[in-house]
Structure 1
Amino acid sequence: MADDERDLISGTNALELDWAGLQVERVGPRFGITPDERATLAPCICALHEQIQQERVDAAAGRSRLLRDSPDEPLDYGFMDMPARLLGVESALSQRIQDLADQLAEEADAHVVLGIGGSYQGAQALFDALLPTYFNELPRQERGNRPRIYFEGNNVDGLALHDLRQLLDVRYHRYGATPAGRFSLNVISKSGRTLETEVAFSVLRERLRAQGLQDYSRRLVVTTGAEGPLAQAAREDAVPTLPVPDNVGGRYSVLTAVGLLPAAVMGLNIRQLLQGAADFQAYCDAHPDPTDNPAWLYAALHVRAYERGATTRVLAVWTRRLEALGRWYDQLLAESLGKGERGATPLTIVATRELHSRQQQHQQGARDKVITNLLVRDPGRDVTVEGLSFDPRRAPEVVGRRLSELATLAVEATNAALNEDHRPTMNLCLPRLDEYHFGQLVQMLMNATVMEGKLLGIWPFGQPGVEAYKRRWDELLRSRPAA
């Protein structure tokens, strides 16, 4: 870390990990951690911590080929240093991201993010977590003078793309070639060869051009790798581009231009996102002992549970605003750890919604799950129960309570019911949902995933299994002409 970066970083952690529901006293010997096991965690984790630090140094020095000889196993540690770099030595790139975002927001009242997998999941998580729930329904002035946000290019769903195109056409026919009637595009693909995204771009690019060729390039940004057909096309059309770093894998790229440009278009404070992540990374780097490091402890506890038979890991988010974050994390875990016929199956649920469906299985189904509750201590906005209509007899128990208080009691009740039947749980808590703490959370989860891979003997970068379906799809497209 350069001196100017070090001066900006406080090295603090605001996340709390409560793992009482994984201690032997609470859930018994199968999944419970004994005092002796707690004592043995530190030496192993500390050794792997040092290994990770050395691999980061080697990667930065260009010695990665000495470590990994397979293109399926890249050394993608760049996400760890990226937040500090964007606050320090690469702050000019952060400013360019902000300037392009402000331009896109000024030019149009709808912004479409085209990408799939890691190219959009982080941006979707930011949108859901940090903006008002019904952001797109608000008048522009109540959206902070920012555009409505839409996500496409993440499927081959003709109905969805048709309906988005129709919506954009309706607004253009109503308001004409004005910001209120026009839309802007951000096309994201590291390789520049992602078929789902390319198809959506080809459909929407013609609409974008029809809304004005003279300023076409002011309403389009391409986020891609240095080479590839998308980068080449952007250069030929003089379209602004932003980089996807070579040393950052797609699922780890939320705090690069991949996630930061959409965040800035939304009106979020990208410096605070980066600051939270950089502060956590500095804290993580300085604390090898899992007793002091929630990322390392979180990883160790999940690996321990997996080795004892918890092959399904459930992330229970206690606000809908974090459901997309859960899907982002599902991808992070599945692609990083699902290799060599190993790796737990990730599953995100929303509580208390899924307590009325999946909880039956969690409480009395197969003993193959560890459940982590992702909690927000201060919801920021809340509602107080003023009365009950269905069963007024319960009014003394409920009326006057805030919904966040009901949720807190539901978390406690759910954990107690599961632990009583020797089913493991833990709680991961954020102080509040804002840019700073979101940055801390995603940086913590990405670090934890790397450590889990180390503990399991699984390389946490690359996703060679994803390429299999792509090869088969390409073969079928070449062998079967269009109808």
Structure 2
Amino acid sequence: MADAKTVISLPSGFTFDYTNLYGDGRISPADIAALSARLRAAHQAVAQMRATGEVRGHLSKDGQPEKVLFTQLPYVREGNLNTPASLARLKAFGQSLRHRVDAVISFGIGGSYLGNKVLFDIQCGEFWNSKDREARHGYPRLYFSGNNIDPRRTAELIGHIVDEAKSKARQAGAGDGTYRVTLVVISKSGATLDTMSTFMAAYDALQQAAPAIAVEVVAVTDPAAGPQATLLHRLAREQGWPVFRVPDGVGGRFSVFSEVGLITAACTGFDIDAFLAGARSMDEACHSEDIRHNPAMLNAALKYLAAANYGRDIEVFMPYADHLKAVAEWYIQLLAESLGKRTNRAGQEIYYGRTPVVAVGTTDMHAQTQLHQDGQRDKVVQFVQVGQWPEDAVIPNCFPAAASLADIAGLRLSQALDAAREANAAALIRDNRFNANFVLPRLNAFHLGELLYLLALSVAYEGELADVDAFDQPGVEAYKRLLGPLLKQMKAAE
């Protein structure tokens, strides 16, 4: 990688600009060259994973060999996890809610929440639930719960739904004023404490509000039936609830491309086909064994080398768009659970991992950038830029006598935003502060699919470079083993 080119641009317009990560005083051609043998091995390992689902040394939490199948998800075909029939069923479910259901509450934690929140934010935005049904194109309001065991918020959400039901009843008069709520409960096992406790609290309270409120439930869980069925799967069959799949071989942090995430897409009219097409396009772009033409492998190598050779073991993920803050939060889990590992595959303690930090531009230029610029040189700042905005107001000249305000009049908001990001990036690199930029041509389903898939595939490559299993999470299982007995002790003490 000796040439001076420091930008990868895909045919879609998606761009990875790593100018401020590579070159003089940064990651060098010699660093990349020294890694070449491991890059070849990593590329072969990822190709093997794509072809067979096999990842060297990977075991399930039960200690059994387990395939890793997230790379299959963008490809919709018979025999895959996403099939034409499964997507048609998701879309039909979404259509069944339109002009009929008033609100959906999605219960999930980890990837079952974070991935869904990403899709909701891109499709719906902050003010979706304040819009009338016509402005929502008939789709229901959508709320999230189960992502924390918070008594106050759970009570307030239930109270809000009850108040909405009362308001609808008053407006309906003698007509049908029933408020219809669909609870989507997402848990592979059906025993996830955070999800199931808040789900049961809401389910019970809303059932008691009948007939003013009518409650429907949809379960998203392990598809296995019969004796192997999960608690939630058995409960769904007993209660007659529809069931969607948490697929085997897809960890929660990769599940946004499966029915786990796509169910929120269906509930809001998000373009599922374009989203998976974007992920598929990125996967195809990452088949090259040439690091200069494989954005996921390049991203992994640069971040790995920044930490290993230059001590930059914190990654600040900083999109310049409010609607992308949830992407940064999703990335926190992806990076932390995938790469935060005590041991390598040989069992040697290496305590590997890069600490991820959420930031949003321009907000955190006024909160975190002081640390980024003047604190320890232990960070890589990863920007995300939106190329074109569908709505882009011109700053008006409201106060011509105020020179500092008149100076910015006539600029579009996007120009001011881009200038702020460019100034931030330039100030950082002038002081040898590593940073890079992903550019999404537009903020839509296709380019979101590209970005999320790039990040997911990057951790697969980096796991190979670091020789850690990027697909297990033994640290999470450690606290879960302690939690069950503790809950039993608390109940016995009542």
Fold conserved (TM > 0.5)?
Answer: yes
Q: Using the TM superposition, give the Cα deviation of residue 40 of structure 1 relative to its aligned residue in structure 2, in angstroms.
A: 4.8
> 1 CA distance for matches of 2:193 and 2:221?
14
Q: Is the 8 A contact 2:158 2:206 kept in 1?
A: no
2:126 equivalent in structure 1: 133
1:469 equivalent in structure 2: 479
Q: Using the TM superposition, give the Cα deviation of residue 42 of structure 1 relative to its aligned residue in structure 2, in angstroms.
A: 5.1
1:150 equivalent in structure 2: 143
Q: Is the 8 A contact 1:312 1:347 kept in 2?
A: yes
Question: Cα distance 1:391–1:333, how it changes in 2: closer, same or farther (>3 A)?
Answer: farther
> 1 CA distance for matches of 2:430 and 2:450?
32
2:4 equivalent in structure 1: none
Q: Using the TM superposition, give the Cα deviation of residue 139 of structure 1 relative to its aligned residue in structure 2, in angstroms.
A: 1.1
Q: Is the 8 A contact 2:318 2:360 kept in 1?
A: yes
Structure 2 gaps, min length 5: 1-9, 170-174, 343-350
**Number of residues paired by the alignment?**
462
Deviates more, 1:468-477 or 1:264-273: 468-477
Q: Is the 8 A contact 1:221 1:239 kept in 2?
A: yes
What is the DSSP-based 3-state SS (H/G/I as helix, E as strand, rest coil) of the residue aligned with 1:453?
Answer: helix
**Which of 203, 206, 223 lines up with 2:204 in the alignment?**
206
Aligned positions of 1:292-307 closer than 5 A? 292-307=293-308
1:118 equivalent in structure 2: 111
2:19 equivalent in structure 1: 20
- Does the alignment pair 1:282 with 2:284? yes
Question: Cα distance 1:269–1:70, how it changes in 2: closer, same or farther (>3 A)?
Answer: closer
2:446 equivalent in structure 1: 436
Question: Cα distance 1:391–1:264, how it changes in 2: closer, same or farther (>3 A)?
Answer: farther
1:250 equivalent in structure 2: 252
1:268 equivalent in structure 2: 270
Q: Is the 8 A contact 1:379 1:433 kept in 2?
A: yes
Opposite residue 433 of structure 1, the aligned amino acid is: L
Structure 1 gaps, min length 5: 1-10
Q: Specify which structure has the bigger relative contact order, considering alpha-carbon pairs within 8 angstroms and separated by 6 or more residues.
A: 1
Q: Using the TM superposition, give the Cα deviation of residue 88 of structure 1 relative to its aligned residue in structure 2, in angstroms.
A: 8.3
Residues 272-296 of structure 1: per-residue CA shift (max 9 Å, x gap): 11111122212223x1221001111
TM-score (normalised: structure 2): 0.88
> 2 CA distance for matches of 1:133 and 1:391?
35
Opposite residue 169 of structure 1, the aligned amino acid is: V
Deviates more, 1:384-393 or 1:47-56: 384-393
What is the DSSP-based 3-state SS (H/G/I as helix, E as strand, rest coil) of the residue aligned with 1:242?
Answer: strand
2:335 equivalent in structure 1: 333
Q: Using the TM superposition, give the Cα deviation of residue 180 of structure 1 relative to its aligned residue in structure 2, in angstroms.
A: 7.0
Q: Is the 8 A contact 2:338 2:472 kept in 1?
A: yes
2:172 equivalent in structure 1: none
Question: Cα distance 1:69–1:126, how it changes in 2: closer, same or farther (>3 A)?
Answer: closer
What is the DSSP-based 3-state SS (H/G/I as helix, E as strand, rest coil) of the residue aligned with 1:429?
Answer: strand
> 2 CA distance for matches of 1:80 and 1:95?
21
Q: Is the 8 A contact 1:72 1:464 kept in 2?
A: no
Aligned positions of 1:356-395 closer than 5 A? 356-387=366-397, 392-395=402-405
Q: Using the TM superposition, give the Cα deviation of residue 467 of structure 1 relative to its aligned residue in structure 2, in angstroms.
A: 1.7
Deviates more, 1:14-23 or 1:164-173: 14-23
Opposite residue 382 of structure 2, the aligned amino acid is: T
Q: Is the 8 A contact 2:400 2:406 kept in 1?
A: no
Q: Is the 8 A contact 1:12 1:282 kept in 2?
A: no
Opposite residue 301 of structure 1, the aligned amino acid is: L
| Percent identity for Structure 1 against Structure 2 | 35
Q: Using the TM superposition, give the Cα deviation of residue 380 of structure 1 relative to its aligned residue in structure 2, in angstroms.
A: 1.7
Question: Cα distance 1:237–1:257, how it changes in 2: closer, same or farther (>3 A)?
Answer: same
> 2 CA distance for matches of 1:211 and 1:450?
47
1:3 equivalent in structure 2: none
Q: Using the TM superposition, give the Cα deviation of residue 320 of structure 1 relative to its aligned residue in structure 2, in angstroms.
A: 0.8
- Does the alignment pair 1:401 with 2:411? yes
- Does the alignment pair 1:68 with 2:58? yes
What is the DSSP-based 3-state SS (H/G/I as helix, E as strand, rest coil) of the residue aligned with 1:221?
Answer: strand
What is the DSSP-based 3-state SS (H/G/I as helix, E as strand, rest coil) of the residue aligned with 1:374?
Answer: strand
Question: Cα distance 1:251–1:149, how it changes in 2: closer, same or farther (>3 A)?
Answer: same
Q: Is the 8 A contact 2:279 2:450 kept in 1?
A: yes
Question: Cα distance 1:236–1:94, how it changes in 2: closer, same or farther (>3 A)?
Answer: same
Q: Is the 8 A contact 1:312 1:368 kept in 2?
A: yes
1:7 equivalent in structure 2: none
TM-score (normalised: structure 1): 0.90
**Which of 411, 421, 440 lines up with 1:411 in the alignment?**
421
Q: Is the 8 A contact 2:146 2:194 kept in 1?
A: yes
> 1 CA distance for matches of 2:158 and 2:86?
32
- Does the alignment pair 1:355 with 2:369? no
> 1 CA distance for matches of 2:401 and 2:102?
45
What is the root-mean-square deviation in Å for CA atoms of aligned residues?
A: 2.5
- Does the alignment pair 1:79 with 2:108? no
Q: Using the TM superposition, give the Cα deviation of residue 71 of structure 1 relative to its aligned residue in structure 2, in angstroms.
A: 3.5
Question: Cα distance 1:117–1:390, how it changes in 2: closer, same or farther (>3 A)?
Answer: farther
Opposite residue 333 of structure 1, the aligned amino acid is: L
Q: Using the TM superposition, give the Cα deviation of residue 208 of structure 1 relative to its aligned residue in structure 2, in angstroms.
A: 4.7
Residues 121-155 of structure 1: per-residue CA shift (max 9 Å, x gap): 01101111232431111111011111111000111
Q: Using the TM superposition, give the Cα deviation of residue 245 of structure 1 relative to its aligned residue in structure 2, in angstroms.
A: 0.7
> 2 CA distance for matches of 1:211 and 1:387?
53
2:346 equivalent in structure 1: none
1:220 equivalent in structure 2: 217
Greater fraction helix: 1
> 2 CA distance for matches of 1:70 and 1:102?
36
Opposite residue 71 of structure 1, the aligned amino acid is: K
Question: Cα distance 1:391–1:356, how it changes in 2: closer, same or farther (>3 A)?
Answer: farther
Question: Cα distance 1:70–1:232, how it changes in 2: closer, same or farther (>3 A)?
Answer: closer
1:8 equivalent in structure 2: none
> 2 CA distance for matches of 1:234 and 1:391?
66
